[in-house]
Chains A and B, each alone.
Chain A
Amino acid sequence: MLNDFLYLMNAELLVTIIIFILLFLKLSNEEWKNEGLLNFINFLLFINLAAGFFYIPKGVLFGDMFYTSELITFEKNLLNLGTLIISLQSYDWLKNHKHVPEFYMLLLSTLLGMFFMISSNNLLMFYLGLELSTIPLAALSNFDLDRRRSSEAAFKMIMSSAFSSGLLLFGISMLYGTTGTLNYIGLKTHLTGNPLQVFSFILLLAGFAFKISAVPFHLWTADVYEGSPVAVTSYLSVISKGAILFVMVSVFYNVFTPLAERWYNMIFLISVATMIIGNLFALRQQNMKRFLAFSSIAQIGFILVGFSSQSVEGSSSVIFFILIYIFSNLGAFGVISLVSAITGKEDMNDYKGFYKTNKVLSWVFAISLFSLAGIPPMAGFFGKFFLLFAGAGKGNYSLIVIAALNMVVSLYYYLKVIKFMFMDANEHPIEKIKTHWQPKIAMGICVGGILITGIASGAYNYIHSLLK
């Protein structure tokens, strides 16, 4: 039993150990220098990532509450990778922060929550993981301690999360009422598609949609993204959404199959609305973080196109896209985070003439944006192609036409940023940014990932083989 426990939960245990190490560091009387502390933490996170590849557990624990498999370990590794990249990127911001250990304790607690969520085999366990991942996130949003906007963001975040959790719980309780079980396998056999079950499913879907900020549950996103520190914003937009999507893939594809017909239509509507509204709002944004917030809403719309396909191609394209999304979005956020940490500028107009002073950063930003826009040879092209390709599999071509045209709209605002950086003149461009080697490594990983993941088909084929 103990062996099982140690082996199967190795990812969770490692993260917990790191949290405890940080706790002891904090409790000791020693005054730690931030630079040394950050190096040490990033080293730990690297070990955490590397360890995930060594042993791939498989099995269930706690009477079917917790299960893990090769796919789930892969998903956890992706989240670990994203967390490491974000941590490396926020070096310049955290260097001068007073509460570094607390930041990482909260961050890793959310990560732990996501691990439990992904590994859950029971709706109650899922809810537990979700809450563990949400509440520290609200605290993290408030981590620019002397900025008002940051507290506002945290408040909005906790309120909207509480609301969506309420919806989820209501849905879960009614599901329990109609089926008598919360176990995934049990649920699947007892789902008949009667109206009450459909209603509770809608509540559940609304809760999910809240978390991934799909339209019409997206209203909290822009404000929270703008107010939070950039590191937290990127965490919110990539890692936390990624984790929820992983859960959605496994729950919708494996548990709610008896309701497949119904949820196809719902996802179809949500995805179309999300793409269109996300794109239209992104067109007019001036703040970089708000801009990426709306663009990430639009991206969720594209992900849902692939998600709606209900085939192996669909689920693998969603997971593949999240992998690419980690690289592309974090590449873009990395540049914004550096600029914001060193110069405090976050407005789009400040980026005019950026190329004159910061060539490499401009290219990193441009490559990330091209990947988000889906331009080959960046990985984003492959990701979007496969999502739409899977979405067409059901023969619903109208969805593909809408999505393809939305890609053109989205190209406009990505190109607008490129235009600002490369073509517009500015009397006071952002000065040359000198940075530590850690953010450089993070950007190297992102750019490398963007350029390689698509051209080399290994990642997709691996994911596909896991899902078969």
Chain B
Amino acid sequence: MNLSLLAILPLVTAIMIILLKGTKSVRIISLISSTLQLLLAFALLYFYWNERAMGDSAPMLFEDNYTWYAPLHINYHVGVDGISIAMILLTAFVVLAGVLVSWNIGQLNKEFFFLLLLLSVGAYGFFISIDLFTLFFFLEIAVIPKFLLIGIWGSGKKEYSAMKLALMLMAGSALVFVGLIGLYLNTNAGNGQHTFDILQIAQMNIPLPAQKLFFPFAFVGFGIFGALFPFHTWVPDGHSSAPTAASMFLAGISMKLGGYGCLRVATYLMPDAAHQYSWIIIVLASIAILYGAFATMMQTDLKYINAYSSVSHCGFVLLGIGMLTKTAITGAVMQMVSHGLMTALFFAGIGMIYDRTHTRQLSQLGGLLKIMPFISTVFVIAGLCSLGLPGFSGFVAEVTVFMGGWSRADNFYRIATIIACASIVVTAVYILRAVGKAIMGPLASNDYSLLTDAKWNEKWAAALLVIGIVAIGIAPFWLNDLVTPATETIINKISAIIK
């Protein structure tokens, strides 16, 4: 299967949208394209399983390698393993849901869908790249559309948030850039040649001083994307000012670029340094988990609630990576997928409520279950998934991370795990408070009684994400089986060092 299709399809659609005229045709084309993307992602999953069932045990499948800049040893090199496929599926789900949710966007709808599709080009490209340059190229493509999406269609202090987000993410990619260059110059592909190829670098042993120098650059750089404490401050502002689809995209996919990068580039390619610095990662992740949870308790704006809870939940991803055991890293990947779907659903629900009531303040909401049962149910499902109720994906992912963390027989790791576990209680507090206040109780205002429930597009978007969440929650083994072989290759490098 040709992987580049994943990036080419949204790109071609985006170009088509520029040439189209009329609101309707633009959104229909976007819908068709994002549906095709989802089908493509499933086809990829199918072919991948087929290939694996036939006994192909190569670390990356469906590789394509073209020379791009020969004098600089830069190739366009793509390939996928289980982790990438999980992320691609996540992206496809969120893109389709995002397009559906933005169906009725009135102002400049052509530009809106163009930027949305451009973002997905960046995300797909990032997840399929196994050349550091290509990876960085796609990572940066995904930054600027966010700036425009938030700044043009956002709400509140949108310009401030857009600028903050763009600058912080750019600072992140500047650090990543330094890390990648440093990594490159310390590779040795024979005859003093260097390489950007992830698979080749993974076979080499990068000198320890170089690893110790450049691991922080790469990890913190990607960490900024993934809301690493204390660089998470763009998350609340960015998420709450963004239009619904952009929030879904930001929390659902964009933050996962960071987690994926931390895992694939920083940890996989510089395992010694990852091992040495793992305690710092764990401390920061634990702080993020606790701090995010407590900060959420103080929020009164629904979007801020979800944004801060994202900081907390993404802390689990980094915690799982920092634990450096097979189970924990598998859990981290599952948490990325789970959080992506869950938070997208949450933002979709908030967006639907906001479109109708024009407020996101908890104090002005109440009793929505009576007038919009579908939206309220969506909201409750997202909340329950977020607080880790069994049967939904959140539970599966978090438990996997905890088990992985606990399996490190060292008090430090166990204390960190206990702290992370304890945060779930706090999560329950803020989720139940938000749900109770907004959904239950008496109607907050008589004007609300005239409001309508979800339309077809919103229903489909929500249903899609709920299906994903439940599919992982009830049958986690398929995701686990998909991801585990890939985490094994990563962990084999590390466990050799730990022993």
Residues of A in contact with B (beta carbons under 8 Å apart): 312-313, 316, 370, 375-377, 381, 385-386, 388-389, 392-393, 395, 397, 400-401, 404-405, 407-408, 411-412, 415-416, 418-419, 422-424, 457, 460-461, 464
Contact = CB atoms under 8 A, between A and B. Distances in A.
Contacts of B175: 404
Interface centre among B71, B133, B213 (most CB of A within 10 A): B71
B151 A423 contact: yes
A412 B163 contact: yes
A407 to B, nearest CB: 6
A416 B166 CA distance: 11
B167 interface: yes
Contacts of A395: 185
Contacts of B426: none
20 contacts: A312-B71, A370-B144, A375-B140, A376-B138, A381-B140, A389-B72, A395-B185, A397-B181, A397-B182, A400-B181, A407-B170, A408-B174, A411-B166, A415-B163, A419-B163, A423-B151, A423-B158, A457-B68, A457-B69, A464-B71
A375 B143 CA distance: 9
B137 A400 contact: no
Interface of B: 68-72, 133, 137-138, 140-141, 143-144, 147-148, 151-152, 158-159, 162-163, 166-167, 170-171, 174-175, 177-178, 181-182, 185, 213
A386 B68 CA distance: 13
A389 B68 CA distance: 16
Given A370-B144, A423-B158, A389 B167 contact: no
B159 A419 contact: yes
Given A313-B72, A389-B181, A415 B171 contact: no
A404 B71 contact: no
A353 B138 CA distance: 30
Contacts of B182: 392, 397
Identify the 3 closest CB pairs spanning chains A and B, nearest first: A404-B174, A464-B71, A423-B151
Contacts, number: 82
A407 B72 contact: no
Nearest to B147: A415
A388 B162 CA distance: 27
Given A389-B181, A405-B171, A419-B151, 18 more contacts: A312-B71, A313-B72, A316-B71, A381-B137, A381-B140, A388-B177, A397-B178, A405-B174, A408-B170, A408-B174, A411-B166, A412-B167, A419-B163, A423-B152, A423-B159, A460-B69, A461-B69, A464-B71
A401 B170 CA distance: 13
Contacts of B71: 312-313, 316, 460-461, 464
Nearest to A317: B72
Contacts of B152: 422-423
Given A388-B177, A401-B178, A404-B175, A376 B163 contact: no
Nearest to A386: B72
A451 to B, nearest CB: 11
Nearest to A422: B152
A393 B72 CA distance: 11
Given A392-B181, A392-B185, A422 B167 contact: no
B70 A461 contact: yes
A104 B326 CA distance: 70
Contact of A407 (B70, B133, B158, B174): B174
A100 B163 CA distance: 44
Contacts of A404: 174-175, 177-178
B78 to A, nearest CB: 15
Contacts of B68: 457
Nearest to A374: B140
Contacts of A392: 181-182, 185
Contacts of B141: 375-377
